[in-house]
């Protein structure tokens, strides 16, 4: 696990721009070498637009609209509810204060939310998104992205690609999306979802790694997923379609003294479901969970969940239930 301060501190390394030095300017300066432009905006600016080159743009104290355009741009919004778009290129975007909306667009971008309840969307490319403070919403989009929530109750969605999601502090919601993703809840009562969004059938995106961390977490395991609750009283939620998926789910640290198991089933397929537990024939010391004789999950560690303790939920009866 990474400590939040350490992770966010590393993100700031290499952020070469001190945006405070740019405030108060209203002219465009040609940087040395002629390969970048620096545009400073006064605090009342409404619109700041870049060029085809590598721009450094700064907003003011009001709600700014900033567009980097082409090139590898560095944009800072400062205070106000800003709207920032990097455009094409490898951009470094900072919302600072306020409830900001930040888009990376094309390219492998770095997005920093700052204070406030921010909306960050990476777009195409291998992006790095960090929400920092506030209740933030982070969407990686296409590419192999890394998302870090920070403080507050954050919502993280990896999108397409093999993504790494870290909730950090607060009660966060993490969904990997398509691809083989790594989800880490860290502190707080988090919800980790390894299934493909909108799945009504077995997902086929490969094994995800889900670790709730500290807190009472809810972990929704998809096909082939590796699920660890971490410290705290965690809830593992399975589904009957795992019986016909490419791979069953694996629960690595189930503790019957504090954790719970739930199984969502389709009553049309299993009108009178019977849940049993039996030793695994594949993994020594592991136990299999079966519904009507079909294996849906493997529990490691030698613990044998009591079938009577597994909560059965008919499909559609519980909010957020697995499908």
Query: Which pTM was predicted?
Result: 0.84
Q: Are 13 and 6 in contact (CB under 8 A)?
A: no
**pLDDT digit of tens for each residue in the chain (323 aa)?**
333 333 333 333 333 333 333 333 333 333 222 333 444 433 345 688 888 899 999 888 889 999 999 999 999 998 999 999 999 999 999 999 999 999 999 999 999 999 999 999 999 999 999 999 999 999 999 999 999 999 999 999 999 999 999 999 999 999 999 999 999 999 999 999 999 876 555 676 779 999 999 999 999 999 999 999 999 999 999 999 998 887 999 999 999 999 999 999 999 999 999 999 999 999 999 999 999 999 999 999 878 789 999 999 998 775 544 44
Structure tokens at 239: 């589904």
Contact 38, 28 (CB under 8 A): yes
Q: Which helix (H) or strand (E) holds 139?
A: strand 137-139
CB atoms inside a 10 Å sphere around CB 242: 26
Residue 33 near residue 51, CB atoms below 8 Å: no
CA-CA-CA-CA torsion for 285, 290, 294, 295, nearest 10 degrees? Answer: -40
pLDDT digits over 70-113, tens only?
Answer: 999 999 998 999 999 999 999 999 999 999 999 999 999 999 99
314 three-class SS:
strand
Query: Positive or negative, the Cα torsion across 11, 16, 19, 21?
Result: positive
Q: What is the mean pLDDT of the chain?
A: 85
Please, are residues 61 and 2 in contact by the beta-carbon 8 Å criterion?
A: no
């Amino acid at each position: 696990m990474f400590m939040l301060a350490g992770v966010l501190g590393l993100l700031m390394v290499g952020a070469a721009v001190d945006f405070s030095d740019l405030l108060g300017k209203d002219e465009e300066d040609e940087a040395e070498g002629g390969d970048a432009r620096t545009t400073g905006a006064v605090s009342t600016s409404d619109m700041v637009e870049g060029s085809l080159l590598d721009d450094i743009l700064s907003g003011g104290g009001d709600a700014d609209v900033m567009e980097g355009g082409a090139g590898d741009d560095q944009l800072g919004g400062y205070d106000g509810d800003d709207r920032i778009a990097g455009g094409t290129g490898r951009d470094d975007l900072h919302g600072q204060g306020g409830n900001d909306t930040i888009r990376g667009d094309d390219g492998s971008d770095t997005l920093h939310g700052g204070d406030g309840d921010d909306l960050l969307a990476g777009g195409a490319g291998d992006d790095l998104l960090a929400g920092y403070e506030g209740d933030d919403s982070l969407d990686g989009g296409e590419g192999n992205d890394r998302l870090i929530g920070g403080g507050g109750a954050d919502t993280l969605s990896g999108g397409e690609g093999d993504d790494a999601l870290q909730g950090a502090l607060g009660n966060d919601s993490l969904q990997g999306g398509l691809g083989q993703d790594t989800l880490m809840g860290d502190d707080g009562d988090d919800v980790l979802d390894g299934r493909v969004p909108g799945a009504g059938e077995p997902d086929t995106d490969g094994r995800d790694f889900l670790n709730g961390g500290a807190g009472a977490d809810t972990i929704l395991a998809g096909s082939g997923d590796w699920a660890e609750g971490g410290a705290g009283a965690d809830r593992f939620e399975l589904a009957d379609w795992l019986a016909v998926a490419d791979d069953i789910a694996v629960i690595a640290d189930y503790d019957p003294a504090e954790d719970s198991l739930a199984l969502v089933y389709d009553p049309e397929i299993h009108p009178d479901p019977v849940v049993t537990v039996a030793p695994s024939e594949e993994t020594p010391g592991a136990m299999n969970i079966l519904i009507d004789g079909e294996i849906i999950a493997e529990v490691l560690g030698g613990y044998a969940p009591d079938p009577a303790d597994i909560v059965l939920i008919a499909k559609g009866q519980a909010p957020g239930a697995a499908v």
